[in-house]
Structure 1
Amino acid sequence: MKVALVHDYLTQRGGAERVFELLCKRYPDADIFTSLYDPQHSIDLGDRVVRTTYLQKIPNAPKYFKLLAPLYYSAFRSLDLSEYDLIISSSTTFAKGVRKRPDAKHVCFCHNVTRFLWDTKTYLREYTAYRRFYPLLEGVFQWMRQADLRYSQEPDLYIANSSVVARRIHQTYGKPAQVVNYPIDSNQFTFSDQKEDFYLASARLLSYKRIDVIVEAFNWLGWSLLITGDGPERETLQARAMNNIQFLGHVPDATRKQLMAKSRSVIVTALEDYGLVPIEANASGTPVIAYGAGGVLDTQVPGTTGVFFKSQTPEALHAALLKARTIPWNYRNIREHALSHFSETVFFESVDQVIQGVLGD
């Protein structure tokens, strides 16, 4: 059986790219396709050949890949995948639209519906540089939404990383999706049941991450808070923070691993489609205090691995922090839950079962 692996673009390294990296390791003989490839800024594929589209020939295309959005559909449709029996795409946008033979199968790991098309206002809040072009963009987006709906019918099966993403796929594309929670590399995290007197937030400092809620709550409490990560909100957040809050910026993986293991709790205030940080915290034996919506509903057990709060407000987080102090956490059970549900072994057992089901149809 000849297998093709397809990803939207390999120009950055994020959660979607990490999943694609796992798929590449799982299928070492598969051919790899993407629209644009920048090996200096994306996942490590060793000496494997990465086949790209005509967009790769555009000067500086990997750097300005977002500006090429209207061209991606035609780029992926131009790929000749007629010799492949199984196509596995990894997509939040365009890769799901590749062509296949009528008798071939296409399984799409859909990390989300195309956000800039179906949640445009939220997307533009994060990318303010594009906001002033909204009147022009909306006309283009209307055309692209129709294309997105049309090409979303290409995959034979969708795999979603969480229940909330599965619902979006069904609501937007009219296609059912099977939920397979994405894994973490448990070897990258260390366990400790000796917690220190500080809390941790680990996130990019973007507006939708709602780090402002955490800062305000800890300003009231005066408890020690460490924040790792960087982003355009950092200066504003630091200006609002009291002396009990430290911004560490980007930290080495080894430092982050120790902080995860030693903190009292890791705090997540964003509405995440899935979210690996809560699972990473649990793999370190650390409970999570999280906004109770989105992906955490699939990964956390209230009272056992973490505490939920119902609104993205300092008041709600404040109450959850006080509640968490009253819970006699079993740190080993927290870690065991993460390892037994979100390891790479468990992930690929589920993936193999799903793909065999598709091939057996």
Structure 2
Amino acid sequence: MRGGEKCLEVLCRAFPQASLYTLIHRKGSTSPAIESMAIRTSPLQKVPGVFQYYRQLLPIMPAAAASWRLRDVDLVISLSHCVAKSVRVPAGVPHVCYCFTPMRYAWQGREAYLQSWSNRPIRRAAAGSLLNRLQAWDQATSARVSHFVAISETIRERIAGCYDRESTVVPPPVDAEFYHPAPTSTPREDFYLVVSALVPYKRVDQAIEACRRSGRRLVVIGAGPDRTRLEAAAGPATTFLGWQSDEVIRDHYRRCRALLFPGEEDFGIVPVEAMACGAPVIALGRGGAAETVTGECGLLYGEPTTEALALALDGWEAEGLPQDPEFARRRAETYALPVFRRRLLGLLADVATSKERHAGVPRPHLAAPVVGRRRRRDG
């Protein structure tokens, strides 16, 4: 249940009779609202060990997505960061893609992916050729989408650059009812916090090193394949808690000196959750965090380096830890779940009843409001 699944959950509650298509699904791994759907997987579901190695199956994911056959549908909604938007829809059916990002490996993450093969030139060349084909495929299949919805201005710009398409921005939801300040005001404790998947592009290593150099206490919540390497580089003042429940994460948001967010995210729900709890946020001023975090909520710094983060921490502490927790809370509430639900479902209603044509996409055949109509969705 990460950010994408929380967006999906809203749609599952709105359209419980819909069918949900997904590449793979581990039963019981998501919320009851999602688990209760009619879930249809791809052939990848039958690959032995797929839940451990699915990332390595990227080259065949387009073929797996092509196995979906959608018939007798009113509206298709794809929540896509890789291949879901490529689904073929029946003629005359609108297809709204809620886009987390164009395929990362083929576009913005291309060089980082190829860098992992820097010492193996033959494999690097083969990987580059594969990414060229994936990029061409990703661009071509964008024509199957009638309406793009971006999770942030950052992604709106990527959609324009990669697909030459316009999009509407609807930021993902934050559960501001669950994430809120502690009932009783207490002083913040002397530790910084990272809440993140432990993978290289999150740059958790920069937070660890910046705190290690200065002896600052750091608590890291999250799991992932990079944990062993990160623990080896950490000093004694850094504590790894692994995966934790939402309740534990909320408790740490309420108590930490500040959340550190060194990654460049497409949106970044974690900083907004922290702000909803009144926590200061020290974040890289790029990507989604640059849109959500303001000076009243903490501090943005400019360069994605350990040195820049360390200087930001020194400066913020020297200035007396400036932050307005009440403003941060109000800021977070603008991304609350009811706001997301109202904006997204309103947009879907407009699309489903619109008679406007879209280049290359047949006219939607719907004439009645979407309420009560049966529809299916690509997850």
TM over 0.5: yes
Deviations 1:180-227 (CA, angstroms, capped at 9, x unpaired): 111112233240442122211122232222223222322333332222
Matches within 5 A, 1:286-305: 286-302=279-295, 304-305=296-297
2:329 alignment partner in structure 1:
335
Secondary structure of 1:267's match?
A: strand
CA distance in 2 between counterparts of 1:63 and 1:232 reads 11
Q: CA deviation at 1:101?
A: 2.6
CA distance in 1 between counterparts of 2:281 and 2:197 reads 17
Q: Is the 8 A contact 2:117 2:124 kept in 1?
A: no
CA distance in 2 between counterparts of 1:40 and 1:247 reads 26
Whether 2:16 is the aligned partner of 1:28: answer yes
Q: CA deviation at 1:143?
A: 2.6
CA distance in 2 between counterparts of 1:295 and 1:131 reads 34
**Number of corresponding residues:** 347
Q: CA deviation at 1:328?
A: 4.2
Match of 1:224 among 203, 208, 217: 217
Match of 2:92 among 103, 128, 143: 103
TM-score (norm 2): 0.82
Whether 2:169 is the aligned partner of 1:179: answer yes
CA distance in 2 between counterparts of 1:239 and 1:61 reads 28
Q: Is the 8 A contact 2:28 2:35 kept in 1?
A: no
Pick 1 or 2: higher relative contact order, CA cutoff 8 A, min separation 6.
2
Q: Is the 8 A contact 1:35 1:75 kept in 2?
A: yes
Q: Is the 8 A contact 1:125 1:131 kept in 2?
A: no
Secondary structure of 1:324's match?
A: helix
Q: Which runs of 4+ in 1 moved over 6 A?
A: none
1:154 alignment partner in structure 2:
144
Whether 2:160 is the aligned partner of 1:170: answer yes
Q: What stretches of structure 2 of length at least 5 have no aligned partner?
A: 357-379
Q: Is the 8 A contact 1:219 1:242 kept in 2?
A: yes
Deviations 1:25-64 (CA, angstroms, capped at 9, x unpaired): 2221222122332214455423322123344444554554
Q: CA deviation at 1:288?
A: 0.3
Q: 1:357 to 1:229 in 2, by over 3 A?
A: same
1:324 alignment partner in structure 2:
316
Which amino acid is 1:307 matched to?
A: L
Secondary structure of 2:239's match?
A: strand
Q: 1:69 to 1:200 in 2, by over 3 A?
A: closer
Percent identical? 30
Q: What stretches of structure 1 of length at least 5 have no aligned partner?
A: 1-12
Which amino acid is 2:141 matched to?
A: Y
TM-score (norm 1): 0.86
Q: CA deviation at 1:254?
A: 2.2
Secondary structure of 1:152's match?
A: helix
CA distance in 1 between counterparts of 2:74 and 2:104 reads 30
Q: 1:243 to 1:62 in 2, by over 3 A?
A: closer
RMSD: 2.7
CA distance in 2 between counterparts of 1:242 and 1:217 reads 11
Q: 1:138 to 1:155 in 2, by over 3 A?
A: same
Deviations 1:214-247 (CA, angstroms, capped at 9, x unpaired): 2232233333222222334434433443333322
